[in-house]
C-alpha cells in the first residue's frame, strides 16, 4: 500500500527565553523532537499519549500551521516544508484540519453556510478552483447533508447549535475542498460520550465514501482503538511504538505503552479485579531540555544502564510480516 504522507525526523522547538540577562544561551521547549511515521492511502493512524506529549503540535507542524524546526513532511513524495506560500497553498487543498474545540474553531460572526463555503471562495479567488456561486451553494448543502445537518440550517450562526452539531460543521468545512487526508486533533474530546460515538461513526462513514486518510489524535484509548488501523504511541515529544491496533492492544512491548494501556478501565468487573495496574513513579519531565538517553528512563520499571547513555530508535520487533516497531533496548 502506497504512503500518502510521510513524516521524517520532525522537530518543533519553541523559544523559551535565555539563561541570562545579557548574552545568555537561548532556551527552548522541545515539544516535538524527532518524530517519524507514515500514513497510507485510506488508512487511519491513531496518535495517542498523555496530555502535553506533543500530539497537537505534531498535527500543526505537519499542516504547516507551525514552521517546523527541522524534518520533512512528504505529501505524495514532495516535501511541503520547503515550499513557498504559493506552492503550499495548492498542497493544503489535499490536507485539511478538524480542530479540537468546536466552540472556538468556528467564527461566531459567520453563518454556517459562510463557514463551510469560505475555503471554496478563498481558493476560487486565488484561481486554484473554478466554481460559480450556485455551485458553491450546492456544495455547501451537499456537505451539510453528508455530515447529518439540514441544509435549511445554513443561515444559522454557531451559537444556535450544540457541541456535536458544531463539530459536524467543522468536519463539513474540512471536506469542502475534497482533501485526501484529514488531521483530526482530538475532535471528540470536548463532546459528551453519546455524541462522541455519532461523530466517530461519521468519520468512518465519510472515510469509506470518500477514500480519505486520517491522522487521528486522541488521549482516549477506547476512541483510538475504535477508529484506528494503526496506532503510534507518543511520549515527551517522541514516538515510542507503532503497531496495528490489534497487535498493540494484545501485545504492547514498550514499558510506557504497557503502563498506558493498564490505566484504561475494562468494563468487566471480574477482569478488572484480576488484572495488574502498572503505576509509574514520578511525573512526566518538562520538555525544556534534551536528554542523552531514553526520555522514559526516569520512570521506566525496566531501565538499564545503556538506556541512560543512548537514545533508542524505532526498530522492527514483531513476527515476520508484522508491522510492529518499538524504540526500546529491551528488544534487540
List, for residues 288-309, the tens digit of each pLDDT value.
Answer: 888 899 999 999 999 999 999 9
Q: Model confidence at 269, in pLDDT bands (50, 70, 90)?
A: confident
| Residue 45 pLDDT | 97
Per the CB < 8 A criterion, the answer to whether 100 and 159 are in contact is no
What number is the average pLDDT over the span 247-261? 92
| Residue 23 pLDDT | 64
Per the CB < 8 A criterion, the answer to whether 37 and 45 are in contact is yes
Which one has a higher pLDDT value, 62 or 268?
62
Reply yes or no on whether the pLDDT at 121 is more than 90.
Answer: yes
The DSSP annotation for 50-75 comes to -TTSSHHHHHHHHTTSS--SEEEEEE
Residues in Cβ contact with 5 at an 8 Å cutoff, skipping those fewer than 6 apart: 38, 39, 62, 73, 74, 75, 95, 181, 213, 215
List, for residues 73-119, the tens digit of each pLDDT value.
Answer: 999 899 999 998 888 988 999 999 999 998 899 999 999 999 999 99
| Residue 274 pLDDT | 72
Neighbours of 242 (CB within 10 A): 25
Q: What is the dihedral of CA 223, 37, 280, 191, to 10 degrees?
A: -20
d(CA 157, CA 140): 15
**pTM for the predicted model, two decimal places:** 0.92
Average pLDDT value over all residues in the chain: 91
CA angle at 286 for the pair 24 and 324, rounded to the nearest 5°: 125
List, for residues 14-44, the tens digit of each pLDDT value.
Answer: 998 776 666 678 889 999 999 999 999 999 9
Q: What DSSP character marks residue 277?
A: P
| Residue 151 pLDDT | 93
Query: Sign of the CA dihedral 123, 125, 128, 131?
Result: positive
Q: Model confidence at 207, in pLDDT bands (50, 70, 90)?
A: very high
Percentage, residues of the chain above pLDDT 90: 72
List, for residues 174-189, the tens digit of each pLDDT value.
Answer: 999 999 999 999 999 8
Percentage, residues of the chain above pLDDT 70: 96
Which one has a higher pLDDT value, 169 or 87?
169
| Residue 319 pLDDT | 67
d(CA 107, CA 102): 10
Reply yes or no on whether the pLDDT at 161 is more than 70.
Answer: yes
| Residue 320 pLDDT | 63
Amino acid at each position: 500500500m502506497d504512503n500518502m504522507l510521510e513524516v521524517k525526523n520532525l522537530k518543533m522547538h519553541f523559544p523559551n527565553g535565555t539563561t541570562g540577562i545579557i548574552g545568555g544561551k537561548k532556551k527552548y521547549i522541545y515539544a516535538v523532537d524527532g518524530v517519524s511515521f507514515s500514513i497510507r492511502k485510506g488508512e487511519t493512524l491513531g496518535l495517542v499519549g498523555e496530555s502535553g506529549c506533543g500530539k497537537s503540535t505534531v498535527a500543526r507542524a505537519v499542516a504547516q500551521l507551525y514552521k517546523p524546526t527541522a524534518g520533512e513532511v512528504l505529501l505524495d513524495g514532495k516535501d511541503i516544508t520547503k515550499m513557498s506560500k504559493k506552492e503550499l497553498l495548492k498542497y493544503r487543498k489535499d490536507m485539511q484540519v478538524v480542530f479540537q474545540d468546536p466552540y472556538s474553531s468556528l467564527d461566531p460572526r459567520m453563518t454556517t453556510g459562510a463557514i463551510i463555503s469560505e475555503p471554496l471562495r478563498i481558493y476560487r479567488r486565488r484561481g486554484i478552483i473554478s466554481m460559480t456561486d450556485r455551485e458553491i451553494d450546492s456544495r455547501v448543502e451537499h456537505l451539510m447533508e453528508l455530515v447529518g445537518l439540514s441544509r435549511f440550517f445554513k443561515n444559522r450562526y454557531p451559537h444556535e447549535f450544540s457541541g456535536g452539531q458544531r463539530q459536524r460543521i467543522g468536519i463539513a468545512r474540512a471536506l469542502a475542498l475534497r482533501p485526501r487526508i484529514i488531521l483530526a486533533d482530538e475532535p471528540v474530546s470536548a463532546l459528551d460520550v453519546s455524541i462522541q460515538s455519532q461523530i466517530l461513526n461519521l468519520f468512518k462513514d465519510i472515510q469509506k465514501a470518500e477514500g480519505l486518510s486520517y491522522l487521528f489524535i486522541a488521549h482516549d484509548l477506547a476512541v483510538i482503538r475504535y477508529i484506528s488501523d494503526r496506532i503510534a504511541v507518543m511520549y515527551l515529544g517522541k514516538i515510542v511504538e507503532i503497531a496495528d491496533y490489534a497487535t498493540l492492544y494484545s501485545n504492547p512491548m514498550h514499558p510506557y505503552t504497557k503502563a498506558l494501556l493498564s490505566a484504561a478501565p475494562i468494563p468487566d468487573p471480574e477482569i478488572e479485579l484480576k488484572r495488574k495496574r502498572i503505576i509509574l513513579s514520578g511525573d512526566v519531565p518538562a520538555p525544556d531540555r534534551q536528554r542523552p538517553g531514553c526520555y522514559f528512563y526516569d520512570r521506566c520499571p525496566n531501565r538499564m544502564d545503556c538506556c541512560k547513555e543512548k537514545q533508542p530508535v524505532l526498530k522492527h520487533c514483531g513476527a515476520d510480516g508484522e508491522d510492529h516497531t518499538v524504540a526500546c533496548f529491551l528488544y534487540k
